[in-house]
Structure 1
Amino acid sequence: MTKNRLKDLNDHLFAQIERLSDEELTPEQIEAEVKRTDAIVAVSDQILGNANFHLKAATLIANHGDRFKKSLPMIEAPAE
């Protein structure tokens, strides 16, 4: 079973919001969490951009048939 799905990303983002909302954090801990948040957001943006790219490729094929499929090998189904 694959662990890294967009749902998992969503769970990580909400968990980070909860960590940032902890009122018992010291100023140093808040600073560390903010840095962590910045890193999570940067990686999340890349993941979402990649997902959007795959969605656009799949949409292109759905709208125009297989004639573009040779140019888009990244949308092939994963090997089982």
Structure 2
Amino acid sequence: MLSKEKMNRINELSKKSKSTGLSADEAKEQTRLRKEYLETFRQSMKGTIENTRIFDPDGNEVTPKKIQDIQNKKKH
């Protein structure tokens, strides 16, 4: 997860870009922070998906084979 300071900075830059605009350095910083945020989000989402098991109403596991293979690799 991104630090609270970085999240606050992303929000500050976003507000500033909508109101007065950003300097070249601020635009670069915003791009870097957004990229870092997306990488963190994707890693988190990937971890969540790879650790999820899906069951149908009858209690049978219906987790996609691709996810099961990843889960099995992590066990060994």
* Runs of 5+ consecutive residues of structure 1 not aligned to the other structure: 74-80
Equivalent residue number for residue 76 of structure 1: none
What is the CA RMSD across the aligned residues, in angstroms?
3.4
Letter in 1 for 2:16: R
What whole-Å deviation, never above 9, does each CA across 1:1-46 have from its counterpart, x for those lacking one? xxx468x4654432221233452x7xxx611110111111111121
Letter in 1 for 2:12: A
The structure that is helix-richer by fraction is 1
Letter in 2 for 1:36: E
TM-score (norm 1): 0.51
Larger Rg: 2
- Paired-residue identity, %: 6
Equivalent residue number for residue 54 of structure 1: 47
Out of 26, 33, 45, the residue aligned to residue 33 of structure 1 is: 26
Equivalent residue number for residue 71 of structure 1: 74
- Name the structure, 1 or 2, with higher relative contact order (CA <8 Å, separation 6+): 2
Is 1:13 equivalent to 2:6 in the alignment?
Answer: no
